[in-house]
Amino acid sequence: MRRTEADLDRVAETESIFALSNGWLGWRGNLDEGEPYGMPGSYLNGLHERHGIDYPEDGYAFPQHSDTVVSAPNAALIRLWVGDEPLDLRTGTVRHHERVLDLRAGLLERHTEWISPGGHGVRVRSTRLVSLARRPVAAVRWEVEPLDGPVQVRVCADLLANQRVPERADDPRAATVLEDPLVAEYRRADGADGVLVHRTEHSGQRVAVAVTHLVDAPDTTATDTDCAADRIRLTLSGPLHPGQRLRLVRFAGYECAPTGTPDQPATDAPDGTSGQPVAEAPDGSAEGGPGGSVQGRADRPAADVVPTPVELAGQAVTAAAEARSAGWDALVTEQRAAFAAAWTTADVVLDGDPELQQATRFALFHLLQAGRADGDRTIPAKGLTGNGYDGHVLWDTEGYVLPVLTYVAPAMARAALRWRHAHLTEARERAAELRLSGASFPWRTIGGRECSGYWPAGTAGLHLNADIADAVLRYVAATGDDGFLAGAGLELLVETARLWHGFGHWSDDGSFHLPGVTGPDEYSALVDDNVFTNLMARRNLRGAADAADAYPEQAARLGVAAAEVAGWRAAADAVHLPYDRKRGVHQQSAGFTGLPEWDFDGTDPEADYPLLLHFPYLELYRRQVVKQADLVLAMLRSPGDFTAEEKARNFAYYEARTVRDSSLSSPAQAVLAAEVGHLDLAYDHFAESVLQDLEDLGDKTGDGLHLAALAGAWIALVQGFGGMRDDRGELSFAPRLPGRLNRLAFSLLWHGQRLQVTVTPDEVRYELPDAGPETGVDLWHDGTRIRVTGGAPCVRPLPALPDPGPEPTAPPGRRPARRA
Catalytic residues: 522
* CA proximity to 532, closest of 618, 439, 462: 462
- The distance from CA 586 to its chain's CA centroid, rounded to whole angstroms, is 32
Rounded to 5 degrees, φ, ψ at 792 are -160, 155
DSSP-assigned beta bridge partners for residue 52? 65
- The distance from CA 385 to its chain's CA centroid, rounded to whole angstroms, is 8
What's the one-letter identity of residue 366?
H
In whole angstroms, what is the distance from residue 112 CA to residue 750 CA? 45
Which residues make Cβ contacts (< 8 Å) with residue 633, sequence separation at least 6? Answer: 520, 532, 668
Q: Where are the beta strands (DSSP E) in 698-783?
A: 732-733, 743-750, 753-759, 763-767, 776-781
DSSP-assigned beta bridge partners for residue 760? none
Determine contact, residues 489/476, Cβ cutoff 8 Å. Answer: yes
Determine contact, residues 481/531, Cβ cutoff 8 Å. Answer: no
Determine contact, residues 656/811, Cβ cutoff 8 Å. Answer: yes
In whole angstroms, what is the distance from residue 603 CA to residue 622 CA? 16
546 CB neighbour count, 10 Å cutoff? 17
Q: What is the DSSP string of 10-77?
A: GHHHHHHHT-EE-SSEEE----TT--S-S---EEETT-EEEEE---SS--TT---EEEEE-PPPEEEE
Peptide bond into 610 cis (omega under 30): yes
Task: Please state whether beta strands 732-733 and 776-781 pair in parallel, antiparallel, or not at all (unpaired).
Answer: parallel
Residue 806 C-beta-side C-alpha neighbours within 13 Å: 5
What's the one-letter identity of residue 365?
F
* CA proximity to 461, closest of 259, 604, 628, 625: 628
Determine contact, residues 2/18, Cβ cutoff 8 Å. Answer: no
Burial of 575 (0-12, 13-18, 19+ CB in 10 A): buried
Determine the number of helices (DSSP H) and then strands (DSSP E) in the chain.
20, 31
Which residues make Cβ contacts (< 8 Å) with residue 108, sequence separation at least 6? Answer: 18, 20, 29, 99, 100, 101, 102, 127, 128, 129
